[in-house]
Amino acid sequence: MDHTDGAFRCDVVHERSRVRIVVSGELDLTGAPRLEQTLRTFLYTGFGRVVIDLRRLSFIDSTGLHLILRYAEAARRADLRFGLIPGPRAVQRIFELTGTDVLFDFEPPTPPSRLSGYAAGSGSTFSQPGPRSSNAP
């Protein structure tokens, strides 16, 4: 799917022991509430790990970075596993410039799986638009 218009999208892929949140488009002041609602929904649901997949993200600003930092810290405090799949160079650059790259458990990139067409039992996916929210975890 092409997200060249910058519209933010947040898809959730249920995998065996984790939930992978695939973000695409631009994660900024406009998209952050949608990701926050998704994180709030899935961080405490009993999955062994919550991972944000940044590979389809085209842009992230300080609002998006701050949101990810807050939920990474909330996961640590709750003794939950939280990780990131690195995004394109432009996205990774914000982590490097701010020195926050060392704070995250970045998974080695693997080929992105399609967001549809999972074999029965191997996973499921759905889009999580979620309402806008300003409440912190």
The answer to whether 58 and 6 have CB atoms below 8 angstroms apart is yes
State pLDDT tens for residues 25-58: 999 999 999 999 999 988 877 777 899 999 999 9
Predicted TM-score (pTM) of this structure: 0.77
pLDDT at position 45: 79
Give the residue extent of every domain in the chain.
9-109
Contact 50, 76 (CB under 8 A): no
Separation CA 117–CA 12 (nearest Å): 14
Q: Which CATH number fits domain 9-109: 3.30.750.24, 3.40.605.10, 3.40.640.10, 3.40.50.720?
A: 3.30.750.24
Residue 125: per-residue pLDDT = 39
Nearest Cα to 25, choosing from 52, 53, 6, 2? 6
pLDDT value for 110 = 64
SS3 string of 28-57?
CCCCHHHHHHHHHHHCCCCCCEEEEEEEEE
Average pLDDT of the chain is 81
Number of other residues whose CB lies within 10 A of the CB of residue 112: 12
